[in-house]
């Protein structure tokens, strides 16, 4: 893993114009990340992504209803294998993702800086914290059961255990204002507990999320455990919230004015919905470790199973 003090100048030039470099840049073709592959949208549509200053950066895929259905299908297929892995093994796999994030930090810094309109040092801090937060959650993989589980006192010849289990397929509407750190802060606690995820990336700042998909594709995370979609939220959020095979929804990225309608849609199959405190996601301080990285966020997407077992004699 490259030391953080030895950063190259690639971050400054990663998004430089052809005029600045004296050559024609190889423009990237952005795609979705579904089931471990990079398909184009079946609709063939795309939309323009601009930087914070209005500079055109790329064309991102404008995902469709079918893309959401395909992503949910991939997440459902991957869930049993991911959930059945030993907790320590899940932690090792997720730690490897952090190693790969570290190796591509220059690209992430450039994309975050362009997307959020922040200076190089501020972008570097965002990427540093995103990597560290992924490591922090990976470390909880083999500890969360001990924290949440318990042996309940019973006045009979039985053991009574409470054991946390993964919820299943979780839809994650990533925060709009924080393209990488906010996404990692909401995604990592979902998958560390054994869930699979369908992520709707930031609509206006999707490029760091797409690059995260490339990192996942070269990691040990099984295909389908994390699926990343880009597109218009007004088109995709209602589909994800209403999908009957999605078990829970992280709605931190849903605008406050739309949250009630999304929750009503999610009620159709009794989805668990997590939302930001008082709808303040856009003003949430993702750099605040005490507020933004908590074991409670892991618990929010786990079910408590109580098991009775007779005491042997």
Q: Give the CA angle between residues 100, 101, 107 to the nearest 5°.
A: 115
The pLDDT of 184-197, averaged and rounded, is 97
Give the count of beta carbons closer than 10 Å to the beta carbon of residue 46. Answer: 17
Structural tokens at position 184: 């990692």
Residues 260-269, mean pLDDT to the nearest whole number: 93
Kindly list the structural domains of the chain, giving each domain's residue range(s) and its CATH number in brackets, ordered by start: 31-50+57-310 (3.40.605.10)
Q: What is the pTM of this model?
A: 0.88
Band the pLDDT of 293: cuts 50, 70, 90: very high
Residue-wise pLDDT tens digits, 114-166: 999 998 899 999 999 999 999 999 999 999 988 988 888 888 888 888 889 99
Give Cα separations from 273 to 117, 252, 269, 276, 291 (angstroms). 31, 9, 11, 10, 19
More confident residue, 201 or 9: 201
If pLDDT is split at 50, 70 and 90, which confidence band does 302 have? Answer: very high
Q: What is the pLDDT of residue 22?
A: 77
Q: What percent of the chain has pLDDT over 70?
A: 91
Look at residue 128 in the predicted model and tell me its pLDDT: 96
Question: In the numeric block, which tokens belong to residue 237?
Answer: 């959020």
Residue 18 binned pLDDT confidence (cut-offs 50, 70, 90): low
Distance, C-alpha 21 to centroid of its chain: 34
Return the closest-CA partner of residue 68 out of 59, 76, 79.
Answer: 76
Is the pLDDT score of 15 beyond 70? no
CB atoms within 10 A of CB 313: 4
């Amino acid at each position: 893993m490259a030391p953080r003090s030895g950063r190259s100048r690639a971050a400054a030039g990663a998004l430089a114009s052809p005029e600045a470099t004296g050559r024609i840049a190889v423009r990237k073709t952005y795609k979705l990340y579904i089931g471990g592959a990079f398909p184009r949208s079946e609709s063939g549509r795309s939309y323009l992504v601009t930087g914070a200053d209005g500079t055109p950066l790329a064309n991102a895929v404008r995902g469709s209803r079918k893309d959401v259905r395909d992503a949910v299908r991939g997440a459902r297929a991957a869930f049993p294998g991911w959930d059945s892995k030993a907790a320590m093994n899940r932690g090792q796999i997720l730690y490897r993702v952090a190693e790969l994030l570290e190796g591509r930090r220059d690209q992430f810094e450039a994309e975050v800086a362009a997307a959020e309109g922040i200076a190089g040092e501020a972008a570097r801090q965002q990427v540093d914290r995103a990597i560290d937060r992924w490591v922090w959650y990976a470390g909880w993989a083999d500890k969360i059961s001990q924290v949440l589980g318990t042996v309940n006192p019973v006045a009979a010849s039985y053991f009574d255990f409470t054991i946390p289990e993964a919820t299943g397929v979780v839809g994650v509407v990533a925060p709009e204002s924080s393209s990488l750190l906010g996404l990692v802060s909401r995604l990592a606690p979902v998958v560390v507990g054994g869930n699979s995820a369908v992520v709707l990336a930031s609509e206006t700042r999707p490029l760091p999320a797409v690059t995260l998909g490339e990192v996942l594709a070269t990691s040990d995370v099984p295909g389908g455990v994390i699926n990343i979609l880009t597109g218009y939220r007004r088109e995709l959020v209602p589909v994800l919230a209403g999908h009957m095979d999605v078990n829970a929804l992280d709605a931190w990225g849903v605008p406050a004015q739309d949250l009630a309608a999304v929750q009503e849609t999610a009620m159709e199959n009794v989805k668990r919905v997590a939302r930001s405190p008082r709808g303040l996601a856009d003003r949430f301080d993702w750099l605040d470790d005490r507020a933004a990285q908590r074991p409670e966020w892991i618990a929010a997407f786990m079910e408590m199973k109580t098991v009775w077992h007779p005491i042997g004699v």
